[in-house]
Amino acid sequence: MAEQTEKPIRLLNFVSEEQLEESKKERGERVEDGTFQRDRALYEILKENKDKKDAEFNERFKHRPPKALAEDETEFLDKLEMSKREYERQLADEDEQQIRSFQAAVAARSATPQEPQEAALPPPASATKLSVY
């Protein structure tokens, strides 16, 4: 029969302290296995990693020319711009009409002579007596 020189199969993934120290020396400390103590908050580490990835992404696409618009997109934008212009023109026309009517009212009021109107005085207190029977 063949000799069994292979190591026996382990049922558990047990790592002794000596093996852990040996692996630390070989590859250095890592955060994943808990052999590295973090001196910063996890939020800061994740934010830094995200910023690095965003910077790499932006650098890749920074010099790429912008995509040309399709014909239907340009039509839509033209219609949108025309409708905005029409709306602004309508608002300007309404404002101008209101200003004209105000100016006409002021002119009409100043053209007619104003007579001082006497304020109606309240009736004397004796006239408002009520009789109760």
pLDDT at 1 (0 to 100): 47
In this structure, what DSSP letter does residue 126 have?
G
* Percentage of the chain lying above the pLDDT 70 cut: 67
**Amino acid letter, residue 88:** E
Question: What are the backbone dihedrals phi and psi of residue 118, each rounded to the nearest 5 degrees, phi first?
Answer: -80, 135
Where in the chain are the domains? 17-61, 68-108
Of 10, 14, 16, 40, which is closest to residue 24 (Cα–Cα)? 16
Residue ranges of the chain with per-residue pLDDT less than 70 = 1-12, 28-38, 113-133
pTM of the model: 0.36
Q: Do 31 and 38 form a contact (C-beta atoms < 8 A)?
A: yes
